[in-house]
Amino acid sequence: MRPTSDHTAPRCPSIAALASWIEESNDLGRMPEAPEIHQCWERQMQQNYDACIDAMLEARRRRCQAR
């Protein structure tokens, strides 16, 4: 994420600041998670939220039809 040349640094202060912070704090964000971890969290979110979101959308659809 660190800018690779001098001319990109002024255009990317946020990226440079983030890269610096990751290095200084030894944050785990410097290494991407394995795809299996992402898939696990995605499944968990679907289990927790899909039914709720579907119910909210259905309620909205009914309100719109009632107008």
**pLDDT for 1-46, tens place per residue?**
555 566 555 567 888 888 888 899 988 877 888 999 999 999 999 9
DSSP string, 1-55: ---SSTTTTTT-HHHHHHHHHHHHHT-GGGSPPPHHHHHHHHHHHHHHHHHHHHH
Domain positions in the chain:
1-31, 33-67
Question: Can you give the pLDDT at residue 29?
Answer: 77
Write out pLDDT tens, residues 43-65: 999 999 999 999 999 999 999 99
pTM higher than 0.85, yes or no? no
